[in-house]
Amino acid sequence: MSAPSAALQRLRLRTELRRARTSADLTQREVAKMMEWSPSKLIRIEAGEVGISINDLRSLLAAYGITDRRKIDALLDLARGSRKMPFTEYRDLYSKEVLQFLALESAASIIRQYSSLVLPGPLQTEEYARAIMRAYDKGIADEKLDRAVEARLARQEQLTSGAGGDRQLFYILDEAVVRRQVGGRGVMRAQLERLSELAAQPGITLQILPLSVGAHPGIMGPFTLFEFETDEMPDSLFIENSRGDTYSTNAPEETGRYLERFWELEDLALKDGVDSLLRLLATRMDAGTDDLEALLRAESGETV
């Protein structure tokens, strides 16, 4: 097993600090006053938005009455390991909610994502990503666009390079996602070929939900579920709306409900032969009237 990521270590640290404060029967306001901090500093530390220095952590643990040497050393190690959070160099591009999403994404051992309109960021080619971002914001500056694409490709490298080892990735794409010609035929053809390569990789399961299934449990929109290798970290759910606002929760009743929804979508979606199907879609960009099952029959030599 590889060493825990910086994101996972910070998530563990924030959980332990909240637990220690609660055990000491102290409120955030009381602790901030004791430490001579602004209340927002403690709130941001407990939210995992910022790190904590070693000296501040020692003082905080003393305020909580923690004297066990092994416990203190373990928490200090978490603080040291959590300093380099992923994608913090892109703070000027992303909101704190998106940075939290990226931290969880980088730390998760299992990712399940359903997409109904566009490809998930980690699956996008550079040209597809550029076309999508231009569509979102036609006035985006070239420099900002370049950095946003750079960040997106870094996410892809981080996720797909770890798939099949400590990480399992499950993606369900609505058929509209692979039919929509984002960036034009050439860009979409290259994107479908890249998807076909990813679908054949170990640790990556890519399914397509045909339009022919009609109404289905994912009709309300896309969502992402994160699971972690440690029981200390609860499953997390993220839902993004059309305005880019993000709702997140780790409440078991909600994450459990969406996990069941994902399983239902898995049962409805095509799974076997998806890499071949994507190659067919890439070579038959004009065959928009062919349904997916017909294309699969064509691949096996049957008449479409």
Judged by DSSP in three states, 247 sits in: strand
What percentage of the chain exceeds 70 in pLDDT?
88
**From CA 300, how far away is CA 294, in angstroms rounded?**
10
Q: What pLDDT digit, counting tens, does each position of 284-300 carry?
A: 875 554 566 666 666 66
Residue 76 CA to chain centroid, in angstroms? Answer: 27
Choose among 225, 213, 221, 250: nearest CA to 112. Answer: 225
What is the reported pTM? Answer: 0.78
**From CA 72, how far away is CA 61, in angstroms rounded?**
7
**From CA 68, how far away is CA 72, in angstroms rounded?**
6
Q: What pLDDT digit, counting tens, does each position of 16-74 carry?
A: 999 999 999 999 999 999 999 998 999 988 877 778 889 999 999 999 999 999 999 99
Confidence (pLDDT) at 80: 85
Average pLDDT over residues 141-163: 86
**Residues present in the chain in total:** 304
Domains of the chain and any CATH numbers: 6-81 (1.10.260.40), 95-119+163-299 (3.30.870)
Positive or negative CA dihedral for 101, 106, 107, 110?
positive
Beta bridge partners of 223: 114
Confidence (pLDDT) at 242: 59
Confidence (pLDDT) at 2: 46
User: Has residue 304 got a pLDDT over 80?
Assistant: no
User: Has residue 15 got a pLDDT over 80?
Assistant: yes
